[in-house]
Amino acid sequence: MKPVTLHTLRDLKQQGRRFSCLTCYDASFARAMADAAIDVILIGDSLGMVVQGHGSTLPVTVADMAYHTAAVARGNPYSLLMADMPFMSYADTGTALTAAAELMRAGAHLVKLEGGAWLADTVRQLTRGGIPVCIHLGLTPQSVNVLGGYRVQGRDEAAAQQLLADAEAAVAAGAAMLLLECVPTSLAQQVQARCPVPLIGIGAGPHCDGQVLVLHDMLGIHHGKPARFVKNFLAAGDGSITGAFRQFHNEVQDGRYPAPEHGFAG
Ligand code: KIV
């Protein structure tokens, strides 16, 4: 199988075809994801919660991200690998360049940063330096203390307009991809209508080009009530881990996932 690149995702977007993305943190799951033809792997800083057991993503360091990125890269020669820049690793452009270089050396193909228009210069500098960037908008977990909790974003008109402006600024600065988390389906549809680069959603409805879920969530491993957009693909598949990944990939491709009940109203 030919490895997935940004070019592959741009082609899929042009053809109106959907792509799959899962978070992953180690070589064994990464191998199973290659076997299931998962298009994109996100080495997410969610590892701070689901692997390290913290209550948020804030304690995760660049060294943690590089360690897990290298493990995933060793296990998966197929998927496009996107690594999260952890909390405060891109507070200024110089810091961002150093941190991003470490993640790319560990095996990432692009990096993801949480934030809006204020990141435009950093996006420009990273891109100029050969590092493609995905900008994460909507619910940005590294800002949980500013947001006052993990809640749906962009519900009022001012917040929706701000998000649309942030998306536009990110693309103008050269962002190669956008990711929207926990926003109303109607707002994600508006972003998609203006978005020339691949758009990944989580809790953002069916209009995005790709869908991402956290590995543990989609395997049914969570404490308490899962978020509305989570679906247990281990139960939906053939009972195997690789089967769960294949089921997710197929349901994203043919539009069965996300269903209307997985989205949020405005
Ligand atoms: O870290 C992560 O897993 C993420 C996803 C929730 C998109 O950023």
- Give the tens place of pLDDT for each residue, 92-119: 999 999 999 999 999 999 999 999 999 9
- pLDDT for residue 223: 80
Number of domains in the chain: 1
Q: Kindly report the backbone phi and psi dihedral angles of residue 234, in degrees, each rounded to the nearest multiple of 5, phi listed first.
A: -70, -40
- Encode pLDDT of 2-31 as tens digits: 999 999 999 999 999 999 999 999 999 999
> What's the mean pLDDT in 248-258?
98
pLDDT at 72 over 90: yes
Q: Which domain holds residue 180?
A: 6-262
Report the mean per-residue pLDDT for the chain.
Answer: 98
Specify if 97 maps to a domain: yes
- Give the residue-averaged pLDDT of 74-97: 98
pLDDT (0 to 100) of residue 93:
97
Q: How far apart are the CA of 231 and the centre of ligand 1, in A?
A: 16
DSSP 64: H
In a domain, 1, yes or no: no
Distance 239 CA to ligand 1 centre (A): 25
- pLDDT score at 222: 85
Mutation choice for ligand 1 from 20, 29, 43, 84, CB with most ligand atoms inside 8 A: 84
Distance CA 179, CA 4 (A): 18
pLDDT at 77: 98
Catalytic residue list contains 181: yes
The pocket around ligand 1, CB under 6 angstroms, is made up of 23, 42, 44-46, 84, 179, 181, 202, 212, 214
226 domain residue, yes or no: yes
Query: Is the whole-model pTM more than 0.75?
Result: yes
- Within a domain: 114: yes
Q: What percent of the chain has pLDDT over 70?
A: 100
Q: Categorize the per-residue pLDDT at 224 as very low, low, confident or very high, splitting at 50, 70 and 90.
A: confident
Residue type, 228: R
**181 and 190 Cβ atoms separated by less than 8 Å:** no
The CA 138 to ligand 1 mean position distance, Å, reads 12
Instruction: Find tokens 């790709």 and name the residue.
Output: 210
Q: Is residue 43 part of a domain?
A: yes
Q: What percent of the chain has pLDDT over 90?
A: 98
| Å from CA of 155 to ligand 1 middle | 21
Please, which residues have CB within 8 angstroms of residue 233's CB and are 6 or more apart in sequence?
A: 213, 218, 219, 244, 245, 247, 248, 251
- What are 230-243's pLDDT values in tens digits? 999 999 999 999 99
The tokens of 222 are what?
Answer: 């969570």
What is the average pLDDT across 151-172? Answer: 98
pLDDT tier, 46 (very low <50, low <70, confident <90, very high otherwise): very high
Phi, psi of 82 (to 5 degrees): -115, 125
Tell which atom from ligand 1 comes closest to the C-alpha of 212: 7
- pLDDT interval class at 266 (50, 70, 90): confident
- CATH code for the domain in which residue 241 is found: 3.20.20.60
